[in-house]
DNA sequence: TTGTACGCGTTATCAT
DNA sequence: ATGATAACGCGTACAA
């Protein structure tokens, strides 16, 4: 492994001169600099990240921590993060699982973006206390070293509920998410608020865990209760909506006919459904980009405000007008 | 940032004693060891990865390099990798993009698994020459420091082709992948071999790039030529097959009725299709696990042989018997 | 331009 | 048998 020491020997200068030359310092003449660079290239020199990091106390690496690598959901998000950090000379690495948490306190990374309920609030606060900079996408946490970039879940859930109600549905099913998910809790809170504003609407809450299977289960339950006016169904995420969607179709019933359905997230998968699934959309790319931007600003010492990612309704034929207003 | 020096001061011992204690060396009394550990915990000590790495010349981190983060395809693969490396005390980080390549020569990672055509063969060979250990999943490359774990693409393509031919199809369309993809080239080679064995079969090759859009384009082309016996279509990956699938259905034609369709990869998405897409399956989890295992063995100095991931045919109603043999 | 202290942890060597 | 001293890994940056 060739080090600056080797270069120094070969070029007949001291290691400090080599270091200055490699770092474009004006402290060396152009002449010696070019000679040193030539030697470095010839020897195939590559700096040792650990040594530089040890001295500079920075790695130029940002970590993104995800619950899992299952992906479908994360592509755009990570792409958004990466583009921003790359532009500033940082690299993005993606990690998952408890074991990798060490990278943060051991200072392998200069900051982290968290979308992973495997981190407890306490753990994150401890890291923040140690001086590590964090951006959280999945919880509210107040600390000088923590910034949050959160979805406007409540607005989204309101949009979804209003859409069903405006289309004349007076009986609604809500397929919930896991209680330990911040997003799920927020969406549910907004659902309740909407229902408070609409006492004429009857609502039934069904359990769910954001996975497809729980959407299927909810679908069966709803099918077994079908009677009279078609109900509206709001699944708190698209994956469950897809499970429900298919269960309904597999039983010979029609989405948008025998019931109306709205999801949340506008994941890529919905492109493969027909009729179009109404859902709540937001830019995952922007979410990731914003998170990176906030993190880098914190690292460079700037003050940042918490950010919110706005959402909008995507209409679809999975919802159709009913009753009086139809 | 508390270091072993702080612990030494607090505990009234030398820094080396602290290091020995933290590393469970028998060179310190149980008594002093427990005292030192207590102090370490009290001070919230966490070792500095850069310092340890600098001395030990290892980071206990494995890098997985992917073409992009788009995910849908990679979830299981990465999970397989992670489980294996975690079990051996390593962490897995996922990287994408040219900029992150530096992590390898700069020795931030102890080894890498490559599934990313953004690496040229030359670049990889250079890293291998420098002593870095690599496992490649997307090319053949012979070097003492490179191991390959490749899909049995040829067997898969043969299975797909035979399946269509056995079901009586005498006119076949092949929707190709990008020419710079190893997997695509391998599959195409096997297709040609199968065709050589079946001179009675007429084949038409259509361009494709492994993305959904190119499957849609191929679908339109095929629809415009439909006449007589339903043809068989082999898309060299599932994503294109899905594009073709939907194009056909959107035009009022039936998959398995007006044409038979086979894909390759058995990606999750196919669960959302009806009728079932016939495709070529393999364990992505096993693929990742095998790659990690091979890499760790190389790192620990063991000799390893190249590995192959076997594939099998998943039958589906997207293919139905035709003509004489039906 | 160069010598050198420093960042932090590991480990061989030496002293008690 | 215990534990301290010091060299080392590699690059950076201040002082000379």
Phi-psi region of B42 (alpha: psi -120 to 50; beta: other; left: phi over 0): alpha
Whether the CB of A9 is less than 7 Å away from nucleic strand D comes out as no
What is the rounded distance in angstroms from the CA atom of residue A298 to the CA atom of residue A247?
47
Does residue A119 sit at the B interface (CB-CB below 8 Å)? Answer: no
pLDDT in tens, B90-114: 999 999 999 999 999 999 999 999 9
Whether the CB of B27 is less than 7 Å away from nucleic strand D comes out as yes
Report chain B's mean pLDDT, rounded to a whole number: 95
**Among B115, B292, B94, residue whose Cα is nearest residue A66:** B94
Q: What is the DSSP string of A202-214?
A: EEEEE---SSHHH
What is the rounded distance in angstroms from the CA atom of residue A101 to the CA atom of residue A65?
8
Does residue A213 sit at the B interface (CB-CB below 8 Å)? Answer: no
Contact A313, A280 (CB under 8 A): yes
pLDDT in tens, B238-279: 999 999 999 999 999 999 999 999 999 999 888 778 899 999
Q: What's the CATH number for A4-47? A: 1.10.260.40
Report the sign of the C-alpha dihedral through residues A183, A184, A187, A192, in that order. negative
Q: Give the distance, in angstroms, between residue A52 CA and nucleotide D13 C1'.
A: 12
pLDDT in tens, B275-309: 999 999 999 999 999 999 999 999 999 999 999 99
Q: Which residue is nearest to nucleotide D1 (CA to C1')?
A: B27
Which residues belong to CATH 3.40.50.2300 in chain A? 57-151+284-311, 153-281
Q: What is the DSSP string of A81-149?
A: HHHHHHHTT-EEEEEESGGGGGGTTTTSSSEEEEE-TTS-HHHHHHHHHTT--EEESSS---BTTEEEE
User: In this structure, which topology does domain A57-151+284-311 adopt according to CATH?
Assistant: Rossmann fold (3.40.50)
- The residue of chain B nearest to residue A50, with distances taken between CA atoms, is B50
Contact A278, A261 (CB under 8 A): yes
Asked if pLDDT for residue B32 goes beyond 80, the answer is yes
Asked if pLDDT for residue B324 goes beyond 70, the answer is no
**Regarding the domain with residue range B153-281, which homologous superfamily does it belong to in the CATH classification?**
Response regulator (3.40.50.2300)
Q: Give the distance, in angstroms, between residue B95 CA and nucleotide D12 C1'.
A: 28
Does residue B96 sit at the A interface (CB-CB below 8 Å)? Answer: yes
What is the rounded distance in angstroms from the CA atom of residue A264 to the CA atom of residue A280?
5
The residue written with tokens 């020199």 in the block is A45
Q: What angle do CA A64, A70, A73 make, to 5 degrees?
A: 75
Asked if pLDDT for residue B165 goes beyond 80, the answer is yes
Identify nearest nucleotide to residue A28 by CA to C1′ distance: C1
Distance of alpha carbon B136 from the chain centroid: 9
What is the rounded distance in angstroms from the CA atom of residue B57 to the CA atom of residue B36?
26
- Phi and psi at residue B114, to the nearest 5°: -110, 125
Contacting residues of A for B93, CB less than 8 Å apart: 63, 93-95, 100, 103
SS3 A316: coil
Which residues belong to CATH 1.10.260.40 in chain B? 4-47
**How many residues belong to chain B?**
326
Contact A235, A261 (CB under 8 A): yes
Tokens of B145: 């420091």
Q: Using 50, 70 and 90 to split pLDDT, how confident is the model at B70?
A: confident
pLDDT in tens, A66-95: 998 876 678 899 999 999 999 999 999 999
Write down the pLDDT at residue A278. Answer: 97
Does residue B104 sit at the A interface (CB-CB below 8 Å)? Answer: no
Q: Give the distance, in angstroms, between residue A13 CA and nucleotide D16 C1'.
A: 17
Write down the pLDDT at residue A72. Answer: 67
């Amino acid at each position: 492994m060739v080090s600056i020491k080797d270069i120094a020997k070969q070029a007949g200068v001291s290691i400090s001169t080599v270091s200055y030359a490699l770092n474009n310092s004006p402290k060396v003449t152009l002449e010696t600099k070019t000679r040193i660079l030539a030697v470095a290239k010839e020897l195939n020199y590559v700096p040792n990240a650990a040594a530089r990091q040890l001295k500079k106390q920075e790695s130029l690496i940002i970590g993104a921590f995800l619950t899992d690598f299952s992906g479908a959901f994360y592509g755009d998000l990570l792409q958004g993060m990466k583009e921003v950090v790359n532009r500033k000379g940082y690299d993005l690495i993606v990690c998952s699982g408890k074991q990798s948490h060490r990278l943060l306190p051991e200072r392998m990374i200069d900051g982290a973006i968290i979308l992973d309920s495997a981190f407890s609030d306490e753990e994150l606060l401890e890291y923040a206390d140690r001086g590590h900079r964090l951006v959280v996408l999945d919880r509210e946490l107040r600390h000088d070293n923590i910034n949050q970039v959160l979805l406007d879940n409540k607005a989204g859930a309101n949009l979804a509920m209003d859409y069903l109600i405006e289309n004349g549905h007076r009986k609604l099913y809500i397929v919930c998410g896991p209680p330990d998910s911040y997003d799920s809790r927020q969406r549910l809170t907004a659902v309740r608020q909407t229902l408070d504003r609409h006492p004429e609407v009857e609502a039934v809450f069904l359990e769910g865990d954001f996975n497809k299977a729980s959407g299927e289960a909810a679908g069966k339950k709803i099918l077994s209760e079908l009677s009279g006016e078609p109900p509206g169904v709001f699944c708190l995420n698209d994956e469950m909506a897809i499970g429900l969607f298919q269960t309904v179709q597999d039983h010979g019933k029609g989405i948008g006919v025998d019931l109306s359905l709205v999801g949340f997230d506008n994941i890529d998968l919905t492109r493969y459904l027909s009729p179009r699934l109404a859902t709540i959309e937001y830019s995952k790319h922007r979410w990731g980009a914003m998170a990176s931007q906030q993190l880098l600003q914190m690292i460079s010492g700037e003050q940042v405000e918490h950010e919110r990612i706005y959402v909008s309704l995507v209409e679809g034929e999975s919802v159709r007008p009913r009753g009086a207003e139809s």
